[in-house]
Structure 1
């Protein structure tokens, strides 16, 4: 354990290393300034700044008389003098700015010899001596050379010698000329005396614990006194030595009471010293050390009554008393909160380890009372009280199998402490958010914990004792509401307090009534709130609280488990009358809020909640298959009648979309699998009945309902276009029934036809979307999306996964007039129509797409001419391969001609690209495998084509340049 002390001393050295780094940075800044202005030293700059020089004398301004004015130019003498004076003023301001900038670079002279030769050498020597001493003592102990008596004697002698040496050095400052020598000696002596007393009293038992305690207290007092005499270094070493002494000397079994008292004295003395010497860091370090030692002490087991008592007192002091001694503008408040939180947590651990004994609970309540007393006297400590309250309530929740009487005593104590002072502050109008939160949180939390410990939620029993306890817990909350009832500016606080009190009254009512009656009790509580006759603002807030209570009561009671399945499926359900009464009682407060709430977004929330509860009410009556259409028709009807009720409309629309989720997910799963080549068979899709009952309601809702602009300035959402993709899913499900592709054989025979017709249907809907239909205006964006969907369908399925040239798919036996021609014709039509539906900058891309499709279509028709209805089964011949090259050349000439007629460069570029591909194919593939006349013919055709292409392209370029 001595290494902990060594590492601490190394940390001190690291602190001085950081100061050295700071010095180096300052030196680098000074060197940069010297490089910036080598002719001027820092001293000169300071002289210039301090001596601004004589003021600028303003020459009298001569004003021309009317007689002389006639003979002067427009730049008169007065104008020139004003300009000169302004220039001189601007120059003076610039010089002053430069000097002030230079002044920032003026630093004191840095002496590296002083740092390395004097300061660091001394501290390094002190650290080395301390380490050597520790190692020497450790070695002697392990070797048996020093008996306990000798060790203790040498420790006392060494400590006293070091302190005497420090005093001698201090009195001979003139000869030593360095204050750090006595500081280092005093710190080492203090640490040694700490170890000596601890060895003598605890480790070896040479002296009684009383004498050891008095000795440690005396050393602590000496450390405090020497910090006044020797300054900061002595305080640092005293701090380190004080907290490291128990670890340094070791020990098999620690005396927890003595150690806790010792640590309390060390921490308190250092905090008080830091406050007296205006060194906040000392108090902070002491608190950190004390809290750290508290965690170490809790690692033990089998605490006795005395151990619990002393440790509890130690944690109480750390949580409430000592943090008040630390004064700092920025750190004090968060430090007190953190210290209270950690100490409260440590005391809670002690309570748990002690078995939740009355003594342990009394110590925790004493800590809460101490914090409450400080919170009453000092506003800056009030924030620590809710932290202790939260930890205490959490500890109460963890109490296993508590006795009812003990639980009640602890709960009453927490209620008195953690709500008494907040209520007193509320009465004095000194309350803040923390106090208000404690009044509203502690009583209901205690009620919940009491019911969790002794109540029976799952069995509908009458629990009079718990009901009376819960009702009594509403007393502090009602008192708080009464205290703020007269404050005009605290309407929301009043409403919140009354809401919490009502929740407790409601909970008490639940304990003596059947569980299914809970929403009705909530409605009765809300009726009591109306009797208060408060202002509209507080009444609305109370209604929100009541609505929340009613909804929670509906969901958490066991009867909800019987009613919930009715929301999504057929079930036996709960008794109809009870279910209707429960759902209606929960929805009434939200329905009232729809008319009373003035804030738009809150009214929207109330509307949505009322709509959802109305759906739950309807689900208890209607069959499951009618719920999707019921929600859709409700949204449509409300949109037509009162479209400003956007919250309810959105809720019912969301329910309709929720019913569509399952069949849409089934369709989407099959569609995603098809993207990797798996054919969609009929049984992979939802049934037509399911699509009609669950998908069509969502389509109808989205097609009719539109959401107007909200209060945040959102643009209105044209939701009828959102119905398009979902409607296409429904249409696709019904469309697939026409072909009834249930086996792979039917997929080979009808797959190409089914895909081609669906591709044409998508393009047809795009054309309708572009032109508009009825009251729906045309939208080129939707049309372009449908055209792209048609092209994507063709590219993924008919051109990639199920291309008849690479897969078993029937296209028809008639040359040209077959499914190849139809599929590519639809795709080319989609590309041509896209030219009119997309922005001008994208039209060249559409032209390129059309050229690619036309070329591939011609090659596909050639393949069908040689391969028949299923070209995949017939291998590619040499003649067909040559004709492919010829087709490429012909298509390139055709594209060039179209480009010349339309005057569009993209067609001409496309023709060159196709020609280049044809050339590469001829030279790299075709010509390499030919011989004789075929080889000659291929080159002749290629030459003629190239000559014609060049001649034609040259003419086109000249014509374009001329035009």
Structure 2
């Protein structure tokens, strides 16, 4: 059976090639004659009889151009055959190939109306389809009614098919003409021929698949001959016939069904149809036709896999490999590399890649398929990669093969069955259902991974200069597929906590990708530029290295080593200026950030030591902070791009996180998830943020960086927001009644209000001239408010002790003390504002004194009695008068100094 199919395909090659040569010769002759007539305006007979040397210069040029043009796309040039060349040229010169006279060019051509379209074009097309369907339905009716025996039914069907083809040939040979514009698309000979081919395809298939009159070998031979006939007819009648023939071929198994179909017969038949269609499409460069053929074959494969009670993996592998062979050897065959990769070629490859990849994915992961059949899917994957290597336009096959492999191993791994518990403060893994690999062949994973790795790196190096996009694709899949297989096997068969065996395999893959990336970069022009292909390979090495650390070490060491790993690519920039190296450092920072987000305790809250400072928090946050800082320093001296800014931000972030987590750990007795922070803890966070803002400003002054500049602004704004919402409102001892401590000065009020006030004021002074004006103003105002709060709450503590809750009420002396305190503070702040030349302090002084005045006149007048009320007003008056005298003296001195300067000048 297979030998006859192979012979039929060889015969198909020979006949089509011979026919193609004959038709190309006829086309060249007709093109030459078309070029002669417009040049001299002579009659066809005169042009044919005139020797070449008797033509004028223009005519000779026209002939030469026509000969150089080669074959044309005018399919109707073959209607009358090569035996009637003169008559055909006469028709062509009278038609659209002949230039119109000027008088006729000026008049617009009337478009065909609906009546013409319905009566000519659509009537012919619908009639042809009805003729073909009628023949098949007649056969089906005879089966259901039992009118004729099987032999008679098949004979009548075959006669109907041959009669339709004969009618089409008769109409074509008798000089069929289409004088009406718009009706030429309904070419009657092609439609009659298509209907006949449609019926004959169904007849042969029924003779084998339903009645068993002919065996598989005979069926293959007859179907091959029908394919050859369809090719020959399509070359004469045009693409429409090939499309109709393809549609009929694909629909035949539907219309003539069998109770016990043979998948080998079905897909052998489809393979022959696909090959025949690709031949004719290749000769005429009909991309749409071949896309339809690949799509139809792929849909038939998926339909079989969805409908069959038991899928035959070898059958699916056969049709997939046959489709790939047709794509690589027939449709894409003979296209030189210098022609480039066109969009139609990519679309045809994409159609095949998508459908073949889906069938491979089902073949590997479908639980209904017996174990061990995954090897057939692996063979198809290997064929896809080989076809993509052999033909550049078949690059979509690489994407299909890679995607199918990655999805298959992801499906077989326990990633989709992992269970998380979200009831606690942080999600925890509570269960993983391990699935057995479908293939049950460990070496299959190794072969697939090694195949993608070797083919990808080799192809990337070969194409890195002439097709950098293709090279990047190969390098990318060379990293993604082996990594996915390794990850799946580790999760399925390995120890998730730590497994040195898979860590060694990851180290081998890491080394191969690093060497491969360097190997590709050396082939670049200029060498060692670190383009996309090398970047993908090195990027895959970086990701593999991060996972290798997870495989080899426990939680704590993994986090620490991930942070330290950021140094490696940063230091590598001393020898290679690859752009990807800096981003590998940034990737390590992101990986560490993801780990601490999942487990802030680094080693798990249950295993975290209660020893202050010297515990896993110091290593888990401190080491990455130092590593990121060193990486930023190194990158600033080599590549100095955006990765350097990312590493600076990561270093600052982890530095703050380290201090904050250590503070929380110390203040909560070794527990970091004990609930909301206290005022003391929040005060430390605020001091850390203000200190970080000052550090970032200082670093930015020494080494300007947008990350440092905006980071300092963000740190200052976040500090102010924390002070306003936490210190003044949420955690204010007046509202929480939190104990402030028994020591008179060194207590909670000092930590939560006075120290942040000093820090904010110092940062405001330091940032003057280095940051926008609003930044220093904001910090100065917050500093003044913190001083005000500290003094006021200290008075409250003096009268009420450690607990300052407002519900305890306010005594007369306490109320008077606030007024006196605010007035004194206003005077002191005013003096400092004058001394320092700070308008902000002077405005704060005025605001504080205004608050004191309002309190005295509104609150003290009703709340105080006797001598305290009088003292309140007396003190207020004295202060206000003193401030007035002070300002008068200040203004007088300023005026005298100004006059002295004017006199001196």
Normalising by structure 1, we get a TM-score of: 0.51
Residue in 1 that maps onto 2:756: 827
Residue in 1 that maps onto 2:519: 592
Give me the whole-angstrom Cα distance separating, in 2, the residues matched to 1:394 and 1:861. 82
Alignment of 1:91-490 (within 5 A): 232=113, 277=181, 375-376=281-282, 382-383=287-288, 385-386=290-291, 388-390=293-295, 392-400=297-305, 401-402=310-311, 407=316, 411=320, 414=323, 422-424=331-333, 426=335, 433=342, 434-435=344-345, 438=348, 442=352, 446=356, 449=359, 452-453=362-363, 461=372, 481=391
CA offset at residue 704 of structure 1? Answer: 0.6
Give me the whole-angstrom Cα distance separating, in 2, the residues matched to 1:683 and 1:780. 37
Partner residue of 1:717 out of 645, 649, 652: 645
Residue in 2 that maps onto 1:612: 543
Q: Check whether the contact 2:740–2:749 (CA below 8 A) recurs between aligned residues.
A: yes
CA pair 923-475 structure 1, distance change in 2 beyond 3 A: closer
1:808 matches 2:737: yes
Partner residue of 1:888 out of 794, 809, 822: 822
Partner residue of 1:913 out of 830, 833, 847: 847
Give me the whole-angstrom Cα distance separating, in 1, the residues matched to 2:394 and 2:123. 52
Give me the whole-angstrom Cα distance separating, in 2, the residues matched to 1:773 and 1:472. 57
CA offset at residue 804 of structure 1? Answer: 1.7
Q: How many residues align?
A: 643
Give me the whole-angstrom Cα distance separating, in 2, the residues matched to 1:475 and 1:813. 81
Q: Check whether the contact 1:885–1:922 (CA below 8 A) recurs between aligned residues.
A: yes
Give me the whole-angstrom Cα distance separating, in 1, the residues matched to 2:609 and 2:398. 59
Give me the whole-angstrom Cα distance separating, in 2, the residues matched to 1:428 and 1:781. 51
Q: Check whether the contact 2:349–2:395 (CA below 8 A) recurs between aligned residues.
A: no
CA pair 357-463 structure 1, distance change in 2 beyond 3 A: closer
CA pair 874-443 structure 1, distance change in 2 beyond 3 A: closer
CA pair 431-373 structure 1, distance change in 2 beyond 3 A: farther
Q: Check whether the contact 1:898–1:907 (CA below 8 A) recurs between aligned residues.
A: yes
Give me the whole-angstrom Cα distance separating, in 2, the residues matched to 1:644 and 1:843. 43
Please state whether the residue corresponding to 1:600 is helix, strand or coil. Answer: coil
Q: Check whether the contact 2:693–2:716 (CA below 8 A) recurs between aligned residues.
A: yes
CA pair 415-275 structure 1, distance change in 2 beyond 3 A: farther
Q: Check whether the contact 2:617–2:658 (CA below 8 A) recurs between aligned residues.
A: yes
Residue in 2 that maps onto 1:699: 625
Give me the whole-angstrom Cα distance separating, in 2, the residues matched to 1:610 and 1:725. 26
Deviations 1:322-369 (A, max 9, x none): x9999xxxxxxxxx9xx99x9999979979999999899899889968
Residue in 2 that maps onto 1:72: none
CA offset at residue 820 of structure 1? Answer: 1.8
CA pair 324-944 structure 1, distance change in 2 beyond 3 A: farther
CA offset at residue 702 of structure 1? Answer: 0.4
Deviations 1:567-614 (A, max 9, x none): 97325x657877766665566534533544544342333323223334
The one of the two structures with greater contact order (alpha-carbon pairs below 8 A, sep at least 6) is 2
Q: Check whether the contact 1:628–1:694 (CA below 8 A) recurs between aligned residues.
A: yes
Give me the whole-angstrom Cα distance separating, in 1, the residues matched to 2:327 and 2:628. 54
Please state whether the residue corresponding to 2:331 is helix, strand or coil. Answer: helix
Deviations 1:689-719 (A, max 9, x none): 4424533332122011123599897595373
Deviations 1:541-563 (A, max 9, x none): 99867655654553454884236
Residue in 2 that maps onto 1:733: 661
Give me the whole-angstrom Cα distance separating, in 1, the residues matched to 2:862 and 2:255. 93
Residue in 1 that maps onto 2:100: none
Give me the whole-angstrom Cα distance separating, in 2, the residues matched to 1:862 and 1:345. 98
Residue in 2 that maps onto 1:514: 443
Partner residue of 1:654 out of 563, 568, 587: 587
CA offset at residue 452 of structure 1? Answer: 4.4
Residue in 2 that maps onto 1:91: none
CA pair 522-910 structure 1, distance change in 2 beyond 3 A: same
Residue in 1 that maps onto 2:596: 663
Partner residue of 1:554 out of 482, 485, 504: 482
Q: Where does the alignment leave 5 or more consecutive residues of structure 2 unmatched?
A: 1-108, 127-133, 139-175, 188-209, 211-229, 409-438, 603-607, 899-905
Give me the whole-angstrom Cα distance separating, in 1, the residues matched to 2:726 and 2:656. 18
CA pair 496-781 structure 1, distance change in 2 beyond 3 A: closer
CA offset at residue 442 of structure 1? Answer: 3.5
CA offset at residue 726 of structure 1? Answer: 0.7
Q: Check whether the contact 1:763–1:787 (CA below 8 A) recurs between aligned residues.
A: yes
Give me the whole-angstrom Cα distance separating, in 2, the residues matched to 1:345 and 1:806. 85
CA offset at residue 274 of structure 1? Answer: 13
CA offset at residue 769 of structure 1? Answer: 5.6
Q: Where does the alignment leave 5 or more consecutive residues of structure 1 unmatched?
A: 1-227, 246-253, 259-271, 284-304, 306-315, 327-335, 482-491, 670-681
Residue in 1 that maps onto 2:789: 856
Partner residue of 1:898 out of 827, 832, 854: 832
Q: Which moved more, 1:655-664 or 1:781-790?
A: 781-790
Q: Check whether the contact 1:763–1:830 (CA below 8 A) recurs between aligned residues.
A: yes
1:876 matches 2:781: no
Give me the whole-angstrom Cα distance separating, in 2, the residues matched to 1:924 and 1:421. 98
CA pair 274-701 structure 1, distance change in 2 beyond 3 A: farther
Q: Check whether the contact 2:686–2:723 (CA below 8 A) recurs between aligned residues.
A: yes
Q: Which moved more, 1:758-767 or 1:778-787?
A: 778-787
Deviations 1:142-185 (A, max 9, x none): xxxxxxxxxxxxxxxxxxxxxxxxxxxxxxxxxxxxxxxxxxxx
1:836 matches 2:761: no
Give me the whole-angstrom Cα distance separating, in 1, the residues matched to 2:322 and 2:482. 33
CA offset at residue 396 of structure 1? Answer: 1.8
Give me the whole-angstrom Cα distance separating, in 2, the residues matched to 1:946 and 1:921. 14
Q: Check whether the contact 1:834–1:846 (CA below 8 A) recurs between aligned residues.
A: yes
Give me the whole-angstrom Cα distance separating, in 2, the residues matched to 1:539 and 1:428. 11
Q: Which moved more, 1:515-524 or 1:364-373?
A: 364-373
CA offset at residue 456 of structure 1? Answer: 8.9
Give me the whole-angstrom Cα distance separating, in 2, the residues matched to 1:408 and 1:523. 19
CA pair 569-654 structure 1, distance change in 2 beyond 3 A: farther
Deviations 1:525-549 (A, max 9, x none): 559969x997874799998676556
Q: Check whether the contact 1:770–1:783 (CA below 8 A) recurs between aligned residues.
A: yes
Give me the whole-angstrom Cα distance separating, in 2, the residues matched to 1:826 and 1:886. 23
Normalising by structure 2, we get a TM-score of: 0.54
Q: Check whether the contact 1:594–1:607 (CA below 8 A) recurs between aligned residues.
A: no
Deviations 1:372-417 (A, max 9, x none): 57745665x5245325524542442342345568657755774576
Please state whether the residue corresponding to 1:426 is helix, strand or coil. Answer: coil
Superposed CA RMSD? 6.6
Q: Check whether the contact 1:709–1:715 (CA below 8 A) recurs between aligned residues.
A: no
Give me the whole-angstrom Cα distance separating, in 2, the residues matched to 1:398 and 1:274. 42
CA pair 324-751 structure 1, distance change in 2 beyond 3 A: same
Give me the whole-angstrom Cα distance separating, in 2, the residues matched to 1:859 and 1:721. 38
Give me the whole-angstrom Cα distance separating, in 2, the residues matched to 1:776 and 1:593. 35
Residue in 2 that maps onto 1:132: none
CA offset at residue 282 of structure 1? Answer: 13
Please state whether the residue corresponding to 2:734 is helix, strand or coil. Answer: coil
Q: Which moved more, 1:881-890 or 1:614-623?
A: 614-623
CA offset at residue 909 of structure 1? Answer: 3.1
CA pair 360-275 structure 1, distance change in 2 beyond 3 A: farther
